[in-house]
Amino acid sequence: MAGKTLYDKLWDDHLVKQRDDGSALIYIDRQLLHEVTSPQAFEGLRLAGRKPWRIDANIATPDHNVPTTDRDKGIDGIVDPVSRTQVETLDKNCDEFGILEFKIKDQRQGIVHVIGPEQGATLPGMSIVCGDSHTSTHGAFGCLAHGIGTSEVEHVLATQCLVQKKMKNMLVKVNGKLGPGVTGKDVVLAIIGKIGTAGGTGYAIEFGGEAIRGLSMEGRMTICNMSIEAGARVGMVAVDDTTIDYVKGRPFAPKGETWDKAVDYWRTLHSDDDAVFDKVVELDGSAIMPQVSWGTSPEMVTGVDGAVPDPAREEDPIKREGIVRALKYMGLQPNQKITDIQLDRVFIGSCTNSRIEDLREAAAVVKGRKVSPSLKQAMVVPGSGLVKAQAEQEGLDKIFIEAGLEWRDPGCSMCLAMNADKLGQGEHCASTSNRNFEGRQGFGGRTHLVSPGMAAAAAVTGHFVDVRELMH
Amino acid sequence: MRAFTQHQGIVAPMDRSNVDTDMIIPKQFLKSIKRTGFGPNLFDELRYLDEGKPDQDCSERPLNPDFVLNQDRYKGASVLLARSNFGCGSSREHAPWALDDFGFRVIIAPSFADIFYNNCFKNGLLPIVLPEEVVDQLFREAEKNEGYQLTVDLQAKTVTTPSGESFSFDVDDFRRHCLLNGLDDIGVTLEDADLIRDYEEKRRQTAPWLFNAGN
């Protein structure tokens, strides 16, 4: 019999019941809650007269709607009354059911996918869900983690289980070493560019190979975060010393004898040598260069030395039509060089790239330089209150402010523009976020997805430039 | 949940692949704490020429005449014909809520994004996967014939054209069962409450760190 993949092991460990019809009940160890996708779930519970199954499996925080200025005002700082109601509703629901919540003024508040790992509430081998598609982030810890809809949030609250059907296994192997200035973000954009936005549909992806093993936990989180942009709900990396060292000492991590026992188990969380994958994709990590998206889907991406494609050269009529539509929306010309794209704003933040290493990477580039006068705005939004505090302790805030970037309070911010941070119509933005869909960062806004270093390089030059040319 | 057995309705063809959930319902409308009322803002940025705002009277807004749902011939459509990877992007269930609130009951496409596909079933909405060439044929027929309707039978797992041509589709037995009977799947899961408790007890012994409330 063939060995098991990491996904097979995680599935088996969480299987409560295999039903005859092919569906299965899977136990959920951790649910993360935020204000946008939970209110209707709590309402559903109340209407059905149900209680949460296991209160301590849930952790909540407001992130999507929170303003990134005037945090000391708390909820009163939310100008939009509809946004305020949503955040107040989360507080009310968590208070009523006794769910642990890091409220808006708590230093532990932040983007759900940043705070889970930061608190050690994300532990290797867990099954983790959240009403947010970027829950795949937690797979970096060898977790079975994926986004769910609101009905499933309610299902997990009520039963601690999900009805699932097993996915297929895919291995994405990134061989070789990454060059300097090339990050997890560039790797995942290159993967999406290769397999497409539906390439991972129906699969749980395991990311492996020398380049992945060489990444820090934060780099791995960036890669797993964007699995969903390749169509895969689940993205994972096997547990190794890097994983275990990261988890150690965090508030929710086990201690003493339990720690030792947990580590013994965690070390089994990798695919067996003879495991069989339904699909294997290989990339040469040493050939990946800094990436920039030019279109309105994350698969519309190229190296910084590249150019916008010419639809006339695309043979597939549906793809050609997609390129024509994207170029029109983005205001770009066929064959235009990526480095000739002029920018209006720069956003460094989001659950993809708002952790301390991302901020260090950006600060290293802007240090001693100034934001280009051609830009309207360049902002840095740390992923959590604790990331913010750490960055300030290291003096990164001063580097950003001196260079002319705005230093904000934590939240999802301009990644999806549910709060006040958004693009104006027609504006081009170098963004470290995860989606370049039409209107994502604001009505008519034009998003280019890049790494934090590339966003910082764009901030000081006003257009895209290969970050490696600016590295000290 | 509302049951789904059979449905016949006008087909609206949306000829565009990778329709994402931001497109289906833009983020400014996700601030609602209700499950209803999203219909007027379905496909907001494609449907209207101005920028949509929450709690706005959409009847006064300028319509985009080129958008399929604004054309008279597709008025009252309840079957959405779409291209590959429909519903990609975020997990927002507001997307199926908006499609449902608008009046759609069935979405047919060559492929769907996983989370969106799953969310549809929770709301009495039936997503149907048909082969690319069949979808191409349905697009041609729907565009050619005004008032074109399809009949969907979930019991028989078939889609039938006005000429009587029938195509069968696959759907998971459990999802089909829940949809046909309008079952609340939380209720179904809770029938196994003892099994869940047994599993939990075993895990408390073998992996106690999973039950640590932190400090």
Write out A234-255 in H/E/C secondary structure: EEECCCCHHHHHHHCCCCCCCC
Nearest to A412 by CA among A429, A434, A396, A444: A434
Residues of B in contact with A437 (CB under 8 A): 20, 22-23, 89
- Give the residue among A317, A330, A293, A358 at the shortest CA–CA distance from A426: A330
The reported pLDDT for the residue numbered B32 is 93
Distance from CA of B5 to the nearest CA of A (A): 19
Band (A44; pLDDT cuts 50, 70, 90): very high
Q: Which of B85, B184, B214 sits opposite A121 (nearest CB)?
A: B214
User: Can you give the pLDDT at residue B213?
Assistant: 64
The verdict on a CB contact (< 8 Å) between B199 and A16 is yes
Hey, how many other C-beta atoms are within 10 angstroms of the C-beta on A426? 13
Question: Which pLDDT does position B155 carry in this prediction?
Answer: 97
Q: Tell me, what DSSP letter sits at residue A39? A: H
Looking at this protein, which amino acid is placed at residue A98? Answer: G
Mean pLDDT of chain A: 97
Q: Give me the residues paired with residue B63 across strands.
A: B48
- Please tell me the predicted confidence (pLDDT) of residue B212: 75
Measured in whole angstroms, the distance separating CA A238 from the mean position of its chain's CA atoms is 18
Q: Between chains, do B208 and A258 touch, taking CB under 8 Å as contact?
A: yes
Distance from CA of A105 to the nearest CA of B (A): 18
User: How many CB atoms neighbour CB B49 within 10 A?
Assistant: 11
For A272-328, write each residue's pLDDT tens digit: 999 999 999 999 999 999 999 999 999 999 999 999 999 999 999 888 999 999 999
Express each pLDDT in B52-97 by its tens digit.
998 899 999 999 999 999 999 999 999 999 999 999 999 999 999 9
Q: What span, in angstroms and rounded, lies between the C-alpha atoms of A175 and A57? A: 37
pLDDT band at A472 (very low <50, low <70, confident <90, very high): low
β-pairing verdict for A24-27 and A161-164: antiparallel
Q: pLDDT tens digits, residue range A228-239? A: 999 999 999 999
Q: Angle at Cα B38 formed by Cα B36 and Cα B41, nearest 5°?
A: 170
Q: For chain B, what's the residue count? A: 215
Whole-complex ipTM? 0.96
A421 in Cβ contact with A379 (< 8 Å): yes
Chain B partners within 8 Å of A200 (Cβ): none
Cβ–Cβ of B55/A82 closer than 8 Å? yes
Chain A residue numbers touching B203 (CB-CB < 8 A) = 27
pLDDT at A2: 86
Give the per-residue pLDDT at B214.
Answer: 57
| Residue where the block lists tokens 């402010």 | A401
Is residue B215 predicted with pLDDT exceeding 60?
Answer: no
Beta strands in A69-140 (DSSP E): 100-101, 127-130
What's the pLDDT at A1?
76
DSSP E strand stretches across A3-125: 15-18, 24-27, 30-33, 58-60, 100-101
With beta carbons less than 8 A apart as the criterion, state whether A236 and A206 touch.
Answer: yes
Alpha helices (H) along chain B: 21-24, 44-47, 94-102, 114-121, 132-144, 173-181, 185-190, 193-206
